Amino acid sequence: MTGSEAVYPKTDSITDHECDLYQSEIGSDLVQSHGVLFILSYPDLIIQQVSANLSDHFNLLPEDLLGQSLSNLLEPDSIALIQQILPTNQPTHLPYLRSHTPQRDWEGNFHYNEQSVLLELEPLQAESNPHSLAVSHLRLRSAIGRLQQVSSLSDFLQLGAAEIQALTGFDRVMVYQFDAQGAGEVVAEAKRPDLSPYLGLHFPATDIPEPSRRLYAEGLLRYIPDLSAAEVPLMPTENPLTHQPPDLSFVTLRGTDPCCVEYHRNMGVSALMVIALLNNQQLWGLISCHHQTPKRIPGAVRSVCELLGQFITAELANKVNYEELDAIVKLKRRQSEFVESIAQAEDLKTALVHPAPRILDLVNAKGAAVCLDDEITLVGATPSLEQVQDLIQWATTQVSDSLFHTDSLPKQYSAAEAYKETATGLLLLRISQVRRYYILWFRPEVLRTVNWAGDPTASLQVGADGHLTLSPRRSFEQWQETVRLTSQPWHPSELANALDLRNAIVGIVLNKADELARMNQALERSNQELESFAYAASHDLKEPLRGIHNYATFLMEDYQELLDEAGLDRLQTLVRLTQRMESLIDVLLKFSQLGQTDLSRQPTDLNELLTQVINVFRISHPQARIDIRIPRLLPTVNVDPVLVNEVFSNLLSNADKYNNQAQPWVEIGYLDAAEAIEQVPSADPLTLTKPIFYVRDNGIGIRERHLETIFRLFKRLHPQTMYGGGTGAGLTIAKKIVERHGGEMWVNSNYGEGSVFYFTLE
């Protein structure tokens, strides 16, 4: 029978109430009839409860023993053996006990639980004689020896199933592996040749629901020799000391739920034994043994099988890890190379996406998207840029952890179905909790066919009230399901690699931040030393320069009649050069002082300050024809008025000097945040919380290639003889003053039309 695109039911769709039939198996107060269960008080071993089938095995009625000492039933040597081992909360097998009422040999299991001893007795079978036990242990040693020679996990499990079948004689022995959702697959099988194979078939999680898996996770062995045998209650049903039904979770004779019985009968099973397999203390799978007729297995043989199961469990982690080790080593090697390249790269984006395959190989993905704030770079097979942006927006609101992964993104984010061919699987790494830094890895949809042992939905029935209830499945014929909208799942080592990458990036960024801080400290010291040197050098240079200037002047005055015209011309040039050099030294001295002196901040009305600037400008430039415009009153700011005066003076002087229009003008004003957004697209958004001052003119303008160089010290764009000369330091000093106030200065200009100088003051 074949199905198509079936929807597999998850166990979380079944309520706790509807799982009671499985819970009742765990907490059942019924006992299998092939043995007798005693509930004893500790340490006196008084019989408080006994299974109702006592008379079938001992020719005694329950009331004959209730309230009596266990010594009334077992011989002193057997009582001494039990007392020697008690108390223990681990089920313990006793291969030989003897009763004196009647005289008979028994094998037992017992453990201590909440001030009670739970003792199980089963008749000792002929197969449990010392010779048979010795043979079983020899076979166990041989089986372990053979298993130790196998390196492949699949071969190891297959041999383990065969060894269990050889020890027990069960018709079928399967190794059943759970997946993350609780469903399972038969990964190894040893069986009678005439039985249909179950190897490779899948079983839904409802077949072995979570409560039963929890019990198996304790590493217990489950044994039911006859699923059709009647079961008996305990007498009395409550413990007289605790007034509670006893917990039979660790009791081998624990009764079986009717649903479980019917389920296995539908499979043609009459006897059952199950051994739990653990990996890293988690339930990995089961060794499930089936027989078509009732089958008794001596307790000693069951113990040998349990020991073999424990060996398989112990080796399981090694086999699994061995197969994964090569892949993990390769991933770690890639990660190491990747992290090293990040540490050496100039910027994070370059390191992550160049060359492209590295970021994909890190987690075996087909595509990736690197999001650094508003910049997204796509690598490999990915959704479109717009789709990735929407996906990141969704993840921002839905994902709070540093790592998110799914092998079926469309089931959580419906829009992803549109690009399932590239991004059915998603692994998302959040690098920063503050900034919008993400890495997204993608895997395409992988269509696959799953062979189920019967329709996995057949055990679910919808009641009249709409609730789901469990019922035993009747068919185990192969049933195929096409699984869509899933990718290859992300392996734990790949997830670990992604987290390690995040930690490495954070570590590298922090190291670079520390290195940058050290460089800034060194740079600050260097700047202070340079400013001190510039101050000292300029101050000391002025004295000899003044001497040169004076002696040149004396030569022209005292020896004018003795010098020809060429000599006088050279002396005049020398005087002019000393004057220019003194101007340059004064500028250098002034520039160095800007970095050494503290600001004298005070509330300053810029309207009054600007009036002073204009008055001085008019006095010092009587021939200036420039029209000075102030469209509105300027604000009051907390600045050093002397230094800010110089900023406005310099910009006003330049507006007049570098203007060849017939009607020159300059406008001085400011923009608030709203105006700045509209009028100054080049403004830093962080500056829009404070006024942006401007000085606009209709002068000669500045070519675009010179917009940055004009702020360099002593940088002039024209010959000394043009536009009134100057040292080329005015804008440098103005920018330095603005930066000392915590602001910024920049310029926008159209060559031949004019310039606008913008600046902010903190």
Integer Cα distance of 578 and 575 in angstroms: 5
| Residue 434 CA from chain centroid, whole number | 16
Integer Cα distance of 325 and 498 in angstroms: 17
565 and 620 together in one domain? no
407 and 355 together in one domain? yes
- pLDDT tens sequence across 177-190: 988 778 888 899 99
**Predicted local confidence at residue 591, as pLDDT:** 57
Residue 278 has pLDDT above 70, yes or no: yes
- pLDDT tens sequence across 530-571: 566 555 555 666 667 677 777 778 777 777 777 788 878 787
For the chain, what is the mean pLDDT?
Answer: 78
87 and 74 together in one domain? yes
Domain boundary (100, 124, 148) is at 124
Judge whether 40 lies within some domain: yes
Phi/psi for 748 (5° steps) reads -115, 135
Integer Cα distance of 334 and 496 in angstroms: 13
606 and 592 together in one domain? no
CATH of the domain at 544: 1.10.287.130
658 and 590 together in one domain? no
637 and 564 together in one domain? no
pLDDT greater at residue 180 or residue 327: 180
**Predicted local confidence at residue 22, as pLDDT:** 34
Please say whether the dihedral angle defined by the alpha carbons of residues 53, 56, 57 and 62, taken in this order, is positive or negative.
positive
Domain boundary (398, 417, 439) is at 439
Name the residue among 442, 391, 430, 432 with its Cα closest to residue 412: 391
Judge whether 21 lies within some domain: no
Domain boundary (562, 597, 632) is at 597
Cβ proximity of 621 and 656 under 8 Å: yes
Judge whether 150 lies within some domain: no
Q: Which of 1-10, 120-129, 223-232, 254-263 comes out lowest in average pLDDT?
A: 1-10
614 and 750 together in one domain? yes
**Predicted local confidence at residue 683, as pLDDT:** 59
240 pLDDT band, cuts 50/70/90, is very high
CATH of the domain at 408: 3.30.450.270
572 and 653 together in one domain? no
Residue 219 is given by DSSP the state: T
675 and 553 together in one domain? no
- pLDDT tens sequence across 598-645: 677 889 999 999 998 898 888 878 888 899 999 999 999 998 888 888
pTM score over 0.85: no
Give the residue-averaged pLDDT of 644-652: 86
214 pLDDT band, cuts 50/70/90, is confident
637 and 586 together in one domain? no
- DSSP for 478-529 reads EEEEEE-S--PPPPHHHHHHHHHHHHHHHHHHHHHHHHHHHHHHHHHHHHHH
514 and 622 together in one domain? no
Cβ proximity of 19 and 209 under 8 Å: yes
Domain count, the chain: 4
Give the residue-averaged pLDDT of 255-271: 85
Judge whether 190 lies within some domain: no
CATH of the domain at 60: 3.30.450.20
Query: Amino acid identity of 550?
Result: N
Judge whether 537 lies within some domain: yes
Q: Which of 437-451, 457-471, 660-674 comes out lowest in average pLDDT?
A: 457-471
- pLDDT tens sequence across 359-404: 777 788 888 888 887 788 888 889 999 999 999 889 888 877 888 9
Q: Which of 154-163, 268-277, 485-494, 676-685 comes out lowest in average pLDDT?
A: 676-685
**Predicted local confidence at residue 527, as pLDDT:** 61
What pairing do the DSSP bridges indicate for beta strands 437-443 and 665-671? unpaired
CATH of the domain at 742: 3.30.565.10
Residue 392 is given by DSSP the state: H
What pairing do the DSSP bridges indicate for beta strands 448-453 and 478-483? antiparallel
Q: Which residues make Cβ contacts (< 8 Å) with residue 291, sequence separation at least 6?
A: 170, 171, 172, 269, 270, 271, 272
**Predicted local confidence at residue 426, as pLDDT:** 92
Domain span at residue 715? 599-759
645 and 502 together in one domain? no
Judge whether 483 lies within some domain: no
- pLDDT tens sequence across 103-138: 889 999 888 887 899 999 999 876 656 556 677 778
**Predicted local confidence at residue 227, as pLDDT:** 93
Give the residue-averaged pLDDT of 210-236: 87
Residue 587 has pLDDT above 60, yes or no: no
Name the residue among 64, 51, 148, 150 with its Cα closest to residue 101: 64
Most confident region among 205-209, 501-505, 506-510, 755-759 by mean pLDDT: 755-759
**Predicted local confidence at residue 28, as pLDDT:** 62
Judge whether 297 lies within some domain: no
Integer Cα distance of 570 and 620 in angstroms: 30
Give the residue-averaged pLDDT of 476-482: 51
For residue 175, list its beta bridge partners: 188, 287
CA distance readout (Å), 62 to 106, 109, 376: 18, 20, 78
Integer Cα distance of 274 and 184 in angstroms: 15
Judge whether 272 lies within some domain: no
Query: Amino acid identity of 76?
Result: P
CA distance readout (Å), 761 to 582, 674, 739: 31, 18, 8
**Predicted local confidence at residue 583, as pLDDT:** 57
